[in-house]
Amino acid sequence: MKTIKAEAISNVVSDLCIKANTVLRGDVLAALKRALKKEKNKRAGDILEKIICNSQVAKRENLAICQDTGLPCVFVELGQDVRIVGDLKQAINKGVEAGYREGYFRNSVVLDPLSRGKSGFSPAVIHIEMVKGNKLALTVMPKGFGCENKTQLKMFRPTAQIAEIKKFIVEVVKTAGPDACPPYIVGVGIGGSADYAAFLAKQALLKPIDRRSSKLEKELLIRINKLNIGPMGLGGVSTALAVNIQTYPTHIAGLPVVVNISCHALRSATKSL
């Protein structure tokens, strides 16, 4: 049994909030550099250069990569042999508050989605999963809402052809157009229940984008890049950097599919306690 104090969790979450918002993920930066090499469209090349330069300025000066420091989404893998002293969710939110305050990030969270009101840094959206072992893994993903707003869900018939699903995924990107800050990283969740497919789509964005991709992911990436939306929607072959798909068993009567797009500032940071 490993004991972890709430304060330790807050400190880690605070550091992760700062890291995620100021240091662009290595695999994303590498993908942007590869995209720049491949890009023949002048405007697109100029924009990709600025995006890469922006990440360097942010890292060097400890500035947020993007002013939309997002809705903090925290993914927790809690080992079954971990004993937490204190309130886990409270500790996470305290960490978010501290990190966002220290980083001079943006208060983009309203407490009531209907009446809105003054905005703050928290609460985060927290997903907790029990796993085997005695580690506590924390991942912070500040999710920008320009891209979150382009999320789409479709409940396909269980007999739907794969071609229909591919078409839907590509259409979601086409509909997003320039608005969600391409080049995109496209998260897809297939299966489970409607809400679980949405979770899978978001969680898919945490997977490294330079890993070996499946045939379906490769094909979708090619089709999406054929849309020629390009950076800022001004044309080019860099409409998306990657497509990450996660699947889960589902009901005999259904086939939920969710597409969650990330902008080029795909931000996440992880640490294990």
Partner 1 sequence: MKRINIPLKEKKLTNLKIGEKLLLSGIIYTARDQAHKRLFEVIKKGKRLPVDLRGQIIYYCGPTKTPKGKIIGTCGPTTSSRMDEFTPALLKAGLKGMIGKGSRSKEVIAAIKKYKAVYFLTYAGCGALLAKYIKKAKPVVYRDLGPEAIYKLEVKDFPVIVAIDVRGNNIYKEASTNKKTNIAKSYEARQSY
Q: Taking the complex as a whole, how short is the minimal distance between the CB of residue 23 and partner 1, in angstroms? A: 12
Do 147 and 176 touch, CB atoms closer than 8 A?
yes
Binding to partner 1 (CB under 8 A) within 96-155 occurs at 104-108, 116, 118-119, 146, 149
Size of the site for partner 1 (CB under 8 A): 48
43 vs 135, which CB is nearer to partner 1? 43
* Closest distance of CB 182 from partner 1, Å: 9
Of 23-52, binders to partner 1 (CB under 8 A) are 43, 47, 50-51
Please tell me whether the peptide bond between 113 and the residue prior to it is cis, using omega within 30 degrees of 0. no
Angle between helix 26-38 and 42-61 (nearest 10)? 150
250 binds partner 1 (CB under 8 A): no
- Comparison of 51 and 204: residue with beta carbon closer to partner 1: 51
Q: Which of 80, 90, 175, 214 binds partner 1 (CB under 8 A)?
A: 175
Query: Which residue, 47 or 140, has its beta carbon nearer to partner 1?
Result: 47
Q: Which residues bind partner 1 (CB under 8 A)?
A: 43, 47, 50-51, 53-55, 57-58, 61-69, 104-108, 116, 118-119, 146, 149, 171, 174-175, 177-181, 226-230, 232-235, 263-265
